[in-house]
Chain A
């Protein structure tokens, strides 16, 4: 039931949830907030995760998040900028180091507010990591790629095939390493030729096999498109790149904000037209439902409400 619901949610919706949580975590002002974001993220992952290779990484995200908090707190204890006098939690000997660039204080008194600040900073980062983990573990990368526009189809397919090949690469690495162990170490054997060459040869063979199989199943078919249309698409693509580059340049130089905005808008519109035109070259369909459903819109709306409440809370006079 839950698994079914999870598979119905569009992968981009998971990213919306993920980013909303990350924004809340990033602007959190209390440990309670960061902890709730972290807890909510972990809860989402535990409830909705599928049995898939990309869904098994929660452990690593948790370790990373914990490590971030610990490092932040340890740094706060080791490098103290000023000597505190109130609310002392821990009294440690203080060292002053001076390399001619101003003194650096090591250790010394650690106050409760400083500890709390370090914990907040660390947990904020940890919560952002866990929020991103939501999308990384729940959004099926292949489905996300499927919703890429037709012009990017080849690239999207290459990426999704690469995702497929990664576990095979690890497997052939383990296999070759085991076979290497049979031969002992000689003058001519090194990591490069003993391990990498067989693995690379293996990977190359597999890739060629896969490419042949994909072509035999129709990958690479193109519909006819007039030369004029193709040329127009390419010219527009180049033009949009130029417009965006100039727009960014004008924006950063502070010359004129309206001019910059106009250039960026032109660039955006022409790039969309160009991608649309190129997409028509690839006449393909997809079995995956890539359109968003009402469930997705409901979830996105809920995220927006959450964000509004969060920021309204922040600016409200207490």
Chain B
């Protein structure tokens, strides 16, 4: 396949159609097909959401559209892939690079250049476009994406949201009419995520670009999409209208769950419509969130400060946590959430301040002693896992903690059910890895549990499970602190919300206040935005009148 700069396909009027027909894909050692006779047909200029449970093959479907599956994954594939009516079933990704742009989950890990300009030029360089034409096209792409002022900036200086935008602009700089995005907002705070998706939507509308996006937090997209593709766990795929598709999908956002709960005749896909429907339909009773009675103080931190060189990451933060309490720490990327959590855990950098967990300063304890005081689940739980199978990991955890044998595996079973101990820990789902690390850390019955972004990459069902585990920990008398961007998860699990900005606590409120509906509150949960009632933020608070 050749493409010259005057190739009609790149700039053609009706470009942007893409389809898969009877696409089946099996990993090399897999016995079940990851994609099973999947057929999707996407029209030019459509905005398409791809959803499915964790591990269902959403990413595989996207990669199949781009050609990365099977060429970059191994395994065997059969079926037909067409772009703009042409058959590209056997084509390598670079052969269709002028037609389709792809941005994966971590754009910062996929940058090849060091400035915005060069990053955008990369695809054009590969297509052998002359320098003057290249600069013209890069500038056009920057203008279309509103990034002109970043043109000569260094990539590592940009914020997460800006990096995502640059990655998107770079994927479209060669005039590609199809954009494939794999979970573009998973690392962004709520405001940045909202801005990014609106940006993609505007881009799609103004430039007529076909957008195919996989996203766990469907609530961010439901109002924007033209079509929804659901990838089922057995590898089959269905495509259709958002309304009908989401009505039958199991892992749905509160917006849709509320419609089910209140038995509305049809599913409404925008918050505004749902709010109107809620106001119009019969009055509902609402309940208060059931907070547990608080026990004794587990954590007391006073004026904790963390410095990295001249940068003050955490600035004189004081907080206390009582038994039975779940606290969410929110804040933009870089606001000091992770630094604060590690300081509380005791191994993190701490410049100043005093921390006491159950009467001891965790920084003065050894790793084994610390396990009976504080449990910590880091952002990438898999970092703790290194043995070749689950059984060994569980035994090792017992031994290190000097706990009775099989105590870790009992805990793990409580959190995630029984799992074959011969499985490789890397093959566990992210939810199971989280449960495993939580079990390892809790084996000595620590009274404080800390989790850093526990819901990254989890679907609604897995998130509900994690929320339940956290509630159970609290009711067994532990204090739980976690950092998260996920408003809906916080609404389900937390009692209190602490907001950080530039290392300082700017708000410390009950969860009903932090996430409730107010005109200026960007953290309002979906239920809050629909009900517009003070203090109502979670599904279980809304009850139909019988």
Interface residues of A (CB under 8 A from B): 51-52, 142, 157, 160-161, 164, 168, 175-176, 178-189, 193-194, 197-198, 201-202, 206, 208-221, 223-224, 283-289
Alpha-carbon separation in the docked complex, A179 to B342 (Å): 10
Distance in angstroms from A184 CB to nearest chain B CB is 4
Distance in angstroms from A214 CB to nearest chain B CB is 6
Alpha-carbon separation in the docked complex, A215 to B93 (Å): 6
Out of B102, B104, B125, name the residue touching A284 (CB < 8 Å). B125
In the complex, 27 of the A-B residue pairs with CB atoms within 8 angstroms, ordered by the A residue number, are: A164-B112, A168-B109, A176-B383, A179-B383, A180-B383, A182-B378, A185-B367, A194-B386, A197-B386, A202-B383, A212-B93, A216-B68, A216-B100, A216-B171, A217-B97, A217-B112, A217-B170, A217-B171, A218-B122, A219-B94, A219-B126, A221-B126, A284-B125, A284-B128, A285-B131, A287-B125, A287-B134
Alpha-carbon separation in the docked complex, A183 to B98 (Å): 48
Out of B114, B386, B426, name the residue touching A142 (CB < 8 Å). B114
Known: A183-B384, A209-B110, A215-B93. A221 touches B127 (CB 8 A): yes
Which residues on B sit within 8 Å (CB–CB) of A220?
Answer: 92, 94, 126
Say yes or no: is B461 at the interface (Cβ < 8 Å to chain A): no
Contact A184 B112 (CB under 8 A): no
Distance in angstroms from B171 CB to nearest chain A CB is 7
Say yes or no: is B441 at the interface (Cβ < 8 Å to chain A): yes
Which residues on A sit within 8 Å (CB–CB) of B122?
Answer: 214, 217-219
Alpha-carbon separation in the docked complex, A185 to B396 (Å): 9
- The residue of chain A having its C-beta at the shortest distance from the C-beta of B113 within the complex is A142
Which residues on B sit within 8 Å (CB–CB) of A218?
Answer: 94, 97-98, 122-123, 126-127, 174
Alpha-carbon separation in the docked complex, A193 to B94 (Å): 36
Which residues on B sit within 8 Å (CB–CB) of A289?
Answer: 131
Which residues on A sit within 8 Å (CB–CB) of B307?
Answer: none
Which residues on B sit within 8 Å (CB–CB) of A288?
Answer: 118
Contact A193 B378 (CB under 8 A): no
Which residues in chain B, 143-159, are within 8 Å of chain A measured between CB atoms? 154
Contact B384 A221 (CB under 8 A): no
Alpha-carbon separation in the docked complex, A188 to B126 (Å): 48
Alpha-carbon separation in the docked complex, A208 to B71 (Å): 12
Which residues in chain B, 439-481, are within 8 Å of chain A measured between CB atoms? 440-441
Count of residues in B whose CB is under 8 Å from the partner chain: 70
Alpha-carbon separation in the docked complex, A288 to B385 (Å): 43
Which residues on B sit within 8 Å (CB–CB) of A202?
Answer: 383
Contact B128 A212 (CB under 8 A): no
Distance in angstroms from B423 CB to nearest chain A CB is 16
Out of B125, B347, B396, name the residue touching A285 (CB < 8 Å). B125
Contact A216 B94 (CB under 8 A): yes
Contact A217 B123 (CB under 8 A): yes
Which residues on B sit within 8 Å (CB–CB) of A52?
Answer: 114, 154
Alpha-carbon separation in the docked complex, A218 to B440 (Å): 44
Distance in angstroms from A27 CB to nearest chain B CB is 37
Out of B72, B106, B134, B396, name the residue touching A189 (CB < 8 Å). B396
Which residues in chain B, 40-91, are within 8 Å of chain A measured between CB atoms? 63, 66-68, 71-72
Which residues on B sit within 8 Å (CB–CB) of A209?
Answer: 104, 106, 109-110
Out of A142, A178, A210, name the residue touching B109 (CB < 8 Å). A210
The stretch from B271-279, B325-333, B397-405 touching chain A is B397-405
Distance in angstroms from A186 CB to nearest chain B CB is 4
Say yes or no: is B366 at the interface (Cβ < 8 Å to chain A): yes
Out of A198, A212, A213, name the residue touching B383 (CB < 8 Å). A198
Alpha-carbon separation in the docked complex, A175 to B379 (Å): 10
Contact A286 B131 (CB under 8 A): yes
Contact A164 B111 (CB under 8 A): yes
Alpha-carbon separation in the docked complex, A198 to B383 (Å): 6
Say yes or no: is B121 at the interface (Cβ < 8 Å to chain A): yes
Interface residues as binary, B346-360 with A (CB distance below 8 Å gives 1, 0 otherwise): 011000000000000
Which residues on B sit within 8 Å (CB–CB) of A221?
Answer: 94-95, 97, 126-128
Alpha-carbon separation in the docked complex, A76 to B382 (Å): 55
Interface residues as binary, B151-189 with A (CB distance below 8 Å gives 1, 0 otherwise): 000100000000000000011001000000000000000
Contact A285 B441 (CB under 8 A): no
Which residues on B sit within 8 Å (CB–CB) of A164?
Answer: 111-112, 114
Which residues on A sit within 8 Å (CB–CB) of B386?
Answer: 189, 193-194, 197-198
Alpha-carbon separation in the docked complex, A198 to B381 (Å): 11
Say yes or no: is B505 at the interface (Cβ < 8 Å to chain A): no
Distance in angstroms from A145 CB to nearest chain B CB is 11
Contact B347 A181 (CB under 8 A): yes
Contact A182 B376 (CB under 8 A): yes
Which residues on A sit within 8 Å (CB–CB) of B269?
Answer: none
Distance in angstroms from B117 CB to nearest chain A CB is 7
Contact B400 A185 (CB under 8 A): yes
Known pairs A168-B109, A176-B383; list 5 more (Cβ under 8 Å): A179-B384, A198-B385, A201-B426, A209-B110, A218-B97
Distance in angstroms from B219 CB to nearest chain A CB is 27
Known: A182-B441, A194-B386, A217-B97. A285 touches B367 (CB 8 A): no
Which residues on A sit within 8 Å (CB–CB) of B131?
Answer: 285-287, 289
Say yes or no: is B380 at the interface (Cβ < 8 Å to chain A): yes
Which residues on B sit within 8 Å (CB–CB) of A224?
Answer: 2
Say yes or no: is B538 at the interface (Cβ < 8 Å to chain A): no
Alpha-carbon separation in the docked complex, A181 to B384 (Å): 9
Alpha-carbon separation in the docked complex, A279 to B106 (Å): 33
Contact A180 B110 (CB under 8 A): no
Distance in angstroms from B150 CB to nearest chain A CB is 16
- The residue of chain B having its C-beta at the shortest distance from the C-beta of A201 within the complex is B426
- The residue of chain A having its C-beta at the shortest distance from the C-beta of B402 within the complex is A184
Alpha-carbon separation in the docked complex, A219 to B172 (Å): 15
Alpha-carbon separation in the docked complex, A201 to B380 (Å): 13
Q: 9 tightest A-B contacts by CB?
A: A218-B126, A218-B97, A213-B110, A184-B367, A179-B383, A287-B121, A186-B400, A283-B128, A216-B102
Which residues on A sit within 8 Å (CB–CB) of B114?
Answer: 52, 142, 164
Alpha-carbon separation in the docked complex, A187 to B396 (Å): 8
Known: A182-B376, A287-B134, A287-B135. A175 touches B112 (CB 8 A): no
Alpha-carbon separation in the docked complex, A160 to B113 (Å): 8
- The residue of chain A having its C-beta at the shortest distance from the C-beta of B401 within the complex is A184
Which residues on B sit within 8 Å (CB–CB) of A217?
Answer: 94, 97, 101-102, 112, 122-123, 126, 170-171
- The residue of chain B having its C-beta at the shortest distance from the C-beta of A7 within the complex is B152
Out of A51, A176, A183, A287, name the residue touching B400 (CB < 8 Å). A183
Which residues on B sit within 8 Å (CB–CB) of A285?
Answer: 124-125, 128-131, 134
Which residues on A sit within 8 Å (CB–CB) of B385?
Answer: 198
Say yes or no: is B387 at the interface (Cβ < 8 Å to chain A): yes
Distance in angstroms from B27 CB to nearest chain A CB is 14
Alpha-carbon separation in the docked complex, A287 to B132 (Å): 8
Distance in angstroms from A284 CB to nearest chain B CB is 5
- The residue of chain B having its C-beta at the shortest distance from the C-beta of A282 within the complex is B128
Alpha-carbon separation in the docked complex, A202 to B382 (Å): 10
Say yes or no: is B246 at the interface (Cβ < 8 Å to chain A): no
> Which residue among B122, B154, B174, B440 has the maximum number of chain A CB atoms within 10 Å of its CB?
B122
Say yes or no: is B491 at the interface (Cβ < 8 Å to chain A): no
- The residue of chain B having its C-beta at the shortest distance from the C-beta of A190 within the complex is B386
Contact A161 B106 (CB under 8 A): no
- The residue of chain A having its C-beta at the shortest distance from the C-beta of B440 within the complex is A183
Alpha-carbon separation in the docked complex, A51 to B387 (Å): 41
Contact A182 B97 (CB under 8 A): no
Contact B134 A178 (CB under 8 A): no
Say yes or no: is B392 at the interface (Cβ < 8 Å to chain A): yes
Which residues on A sit within 8 Å (CB–CB) of B68?
Answer: 212, 215-216
Known: A181-B347, A188-B392. A213 touches B104 (CB 8 A): yes
Known: A210-B112, A215-B72. A182 touches B347 (CB 8 A): yes
